[in-house]
Chain A
Amino acid sequence: MNIEYNFAFFDEGSKREIRRATLKAIAIPGYQVPFASREMPIARGWGTGGLQLTLSLVGKEDSLKVIDQGSDESVNAVNIKKLIVLTTGIGVTDETAEATIIQSRHRIPETPLQEDQILVLQVPIPEPLRYYEPSEYETKKLHAEHEYSGAWLMLFEQIVNYGAMSTGADHPVMVHSRYVMAPSPIPRFDNPKLNQNNALILLGAGREKKVYAVPPYTKVASLDFEDYPFRVETFQDKCCRLCGAKDVFLDELLNDITGEASYQCNDTSYCLQRMNGKSKG
């Protein structure tokens, strides 16, 4: 026998474990299912949870897209693609619509997902209650008892201190009216995309060994108050300086010399696609 990489890097036992956990995660939307994560040959903080989910899913027919903070070309995204291509031989794509599996860190793509796609989100901290409760046993108990007053209090304190909910990203959501869930550090702008999405969304945390899921067509509500309703980041009348897109998540760029601000799509493949689609002249 010649020594080769396993298909999709993992041994079949590791895939089985994640597959069992994933099926249970879908059956209990927003609940964090523990699994025995194996050590990955990549540095921590690299998104091992997302990668392990992708490796448990991927087959020869798949087309993979990997994005890191909106970019297909970041070092992280490129390295993850390299590992998967090396161990599976599958094709990769930058175009959201062409991918069967999309692994992402910090964003949900601007292009709406389709029913036959799976979005895998990398999660650094899966526990939405960790901010005020350090003990894993205690947070498990709070979830068990549906005791989320701490989560509301945390948001309320932000309003008292800052006049608004100041969660920049990872704003907690309520899934299927039962579990409070960390949506991963996506901007608030992306939270509404979790609600009633066409696609299956899987979330994986490698260090904490948790997988959880938002099935398609599932109710996901961002936590808020009647007097202080949840609001996404607004870019008002701003638009992308390259493709002119409005109503997308924009990055602010400051000119070093003039100090002037300009804006650009954070989702670079979406931006490129719009520019390529425009007739020149």
Chain B
Amino acid sequence: MKLDLVHDIQAAYRKTLASMSRPGLIKNLRDQADKVAMEIDCFNSTLVLALMLFDTEVTFKICSEHEAEMAKLINQLTYAKATELESADYILILHDSKPGDLEKAFQMARSGDLLDPHKGATLIIETDVVCNDRNLTLKGPGIEKENYMDVTLTDQWVDWREEKNSEYPLGIDLIFTDRENNILCLPRTTQIIKQVVG
């Protein structure tokens, strides 16, 4: 079956909205992602997010071994324009990105300014597994007491993010996607506490 650009995208949006409103809440886009009938170099759920959010008004940057092909494809599908890290509205860090790409993305991404903090970029990060294992503790708006999360990345990204988001309301917002089409969102307001190894 083909991805329905009205109803499937609406369903995926509501899941993304729920996940962004409740940091740590994992939502699954399988029902929509499985309908992506295309051979692509990113996770299907990542493409669903691009189709949900991208159009001519949007700029993006792809970090991937297949950057050129992927940028061309996304542009053809959405009319969004590829650009550099420091000016992109959305940065897609795909599972086949080079070591170092993620750190660079955190450093270079636009964090908005005090007049327009909403111009801070959104990073969409592909990782093998997104789960609620108690590696990282989350606190902040959207979380009643605390939530937990883990992703298949070394925890260094937590420090890069903290550095980037140190001057709230400036900052960047994250969406993780995984191979099972799970998504987890981290708005800039979420505080992450690393597990202290005893």
- Give A contacts to B, CB under 8 Å: 6-8, 12-13, 15-17, 19-29, 31, 33-34, 56-60, 115, 118, 140-141, 144-145, 176, 178-179, 200, 215-219
Contacts and interface: CB of A to CB of B under 8 A. Distances in A.
B14 A59 contact: yes
A216 B22 contact: yes
Nearest to A201: B21
Interface of B: 5-7, 9-11, 13-14, 16-18, 20-22, 52-55, 57-58, 113-115, 117-118, 120, 122, 141-144, 168-169, 173, 187-189
A218 B143 CA distance: 8
A28 B117 contact: yes
A60 B16 CA distance: 17
B188 A26 contact: no
A51 B142 CA distance: 24
A179 B141 CA distance: 14
A19 B7 contact: no
Contacts of B13: 19, 56-57
Contacts of B143: 217
Given A59-B10, A216-B142, A21 B118 contact: yes
Contact of B7 (A26, A57, A59): A59
Given A12-B9, A28-B169, A60-B7, A200 B17 contact: yes
A26 B54 CA distance: 18
Nearest to B113: A144
Contacts of A141: 115
Contacts of B6: 6-7, 12
B141 A13 contact: no
A13 B55 contact: yes
Determine which residue in A22, A141, A179, A217 has the highest number of CB atoms from chain B within 10 A of its CB, and name it: A217
Contacts of A21: 118
A26 B21 contact: yes
Given A20-B53, A217-B144, A7 B118 contact: no
A141 B115 CA distance: 6
Contacts of A216: 21-22, 141-142, 144
A107 B115 CA distance: 30
A218 B23 CA distance: 12
Contacts of B144: 216-217
Nearest to A36: B57
The 7 lowest CB-CB distance pairs between A and B, nearest first, are A27-B187, A144-B114, A218-B141, A24-B118, A215-B142, A59-B10, A200-B21
B141 A24 contact: no
Determine which residue in B58, B117, B118 has the highest number of CB atoms from chain A within 10 A of its CB, and name it: B118
A61 to B, nearest CB: 8
A26 B53 CA distance: 15
Given A27-B20, A57-B14, A60-B7, A19 B53 contact: yes
A16 B7 contact: no
